[in-house]
Amino acid sequence: MGPNASASSSSPLLRHMSVSAAPGDRLARTTPAILLIAVAAACWALTARRMQGMDMGPGTDLGGAGWFAGVWATMMAAMMLPSLLPMALAGAAAGRSAGAGRSAGAPAAGGRTARAGAFAVGYLITWVGAGMLAYTLFEGVRALDLAWLAWHRAGQYLAGGVIVGAAVYELTPLKAACLRRCRNPELLVLGRRRRPGVSGALRMGAEHGGFCVGSSWALMAALFALGVMNVAWMIVMAVLVAVEKLLPWNRVAIGTVAAFIAVLGLAVALAPAQVPGLTIPA
C-alpha cells in the first residue's frame, strides 16, 4: 500500500485537525464545535419528546406537511450534525475571505462560528428538501389506499424489501462517489467548492448536503420502512451514518453497514416480531 492509499484511509476528523493547527486557532475551532454538538443534543431531546407515543411502525402517519417539515428538520439536526462536525469546521476554514488576516480572540472565533453555523444550515436545508420529497412520495402512496399494502399482507415484505434495497445501494459506485465527497474535508479546503464568507459557507453547506443525501438517502428510506417516528431506530441510523463518514476504513465501514442492513431487511420481511424495537402496525 503506497502513501496515497495510507492518506486516503485516515480519519476525516484527524485529517481536519491538520488543516488549521496554529495555537491561536484553538478557540476559533472549539467554539463552533461545542455549539454544533449542543444544538444536536438539544434536537435529540426535543425529538425524543415529540415522538413519544407517535411510532406506529412502518406506515406511520406523517401528519401535515408543515408539521412534518419541522419535525424532519429537527431529526436531521439531531442525526446528522455530530458526523457533520469535521466538514462544518473545514467549510468554516475554507470560507474565510481571501486576504483576511487571522485575529486572535472573539472576532476570529465569532467569524468561524458564523461560517460553521451557515454551513450547517445550508446542509440541513438540503436534507429538508429531500425529506419533503420523501413525504410527498409516501403520502401519495398512502392516498391510493391499496389494501394489499396492509402489514399482514404485503406490507412487511415491502418494508423488508426497501431495507434490503438500501443494503444493495450501499455497494454501488454512486454511493461510493457520494460518500467520498461527503467525508473528505480537503475537498472543501483545497477544491473548487471553496466559497468566501458566511453566504459562501451557506452555499458550500447546501452543495455538501447534496452529496450526503446521495450517500445516505437509502438509509433514510430504511428508516421510513422501520417507522420514521421510532427514536431507537433513528439512533441506529445516525450511528450507521457516522460510521461511514468518520471511520478511517471506509470500505470496511460500508461493507459492515451493508451486511447489517441486509440482515435487518430480511428479518423485517420474514420475522418482524423478532426485530428489536420494531413496532408492528395494528
Question: For 180-195, what is each residue's pLDDT tens digit?
Answer: 988 887 665 555 556 6
The pLDDT > 70 percentage for the chain reads 80
Per-residue pLDDT, 123: 96
- Separation of alpha carbons 268 and 222, rounded Å: 11
Which residue has 429537527 as its cell numbers?
Answer: 74
| pLDDT greater than 60 at residue 269 | yes
Task: Output the pLDDT for position 109.
Answer: 55
Q: How far is CA 124 from CA 14, 36, 40, 127, 275, in A?
A: 24, 12, 12, 5, 30
Q: What is the pTM of this model?
A: 0.83
Question: Using 50, 70 and 90 to split pLDDT, how confident is the model at 13?
Answer: very low
Instruction: Please report the pLDDT score of residue 233 as a whole number.
Output: 95
In this prediction, residues 18-28 reach a mean pLDDT of 52
pLDDT score of 88: 87
In order of 33, 45, 64, the CA distances from 120 in angstroms are 11, 19, 25
pLDDT tops 60 at residue 103 = no
Could you tell me which residue, 44 or 14, shows the higher pLDDT? 44
Q: Is 274 exposed, middle or buried (0-12, 13-18, 19+ CB in 10 A)?
A: exposed
Q: Which range among 61-75, 145-159, 204-218 shows the weakest confidence by mean pLDDT?
A: 145-159
Q: CB of 217 within 8 A of CB of 129?
A: no
- Burial class from Cβ neighbours inside 10 Å (0-12, 13-18, 19+) for residue 79 reads buried
| pLDDT of 5 | 41
Residue 100 in this model has a pLDDT that exceeds 80: no
Report pLDDT digits (tens) over 187-238: 655 555 566 678 888 988 999 999 999 999 999 999 999 999 999 999 999 9
Q: Are 246 and 85 in contact (CB under 8 A)?
A: no
How many residues can be counted in the chain? 282
User: What torsion, rounded to 10 degrees, do the Cα atoms 111, 113, 117, 118 define?
Assistant: 10
Residue 90 and residue 87: Cα distance in Å, rounded?
5
Side-chain-side CA neighbours of residue 95 (13 Å): 26
Highest mean pLDDT among 1-5, 55-59, 129-133: 129-133
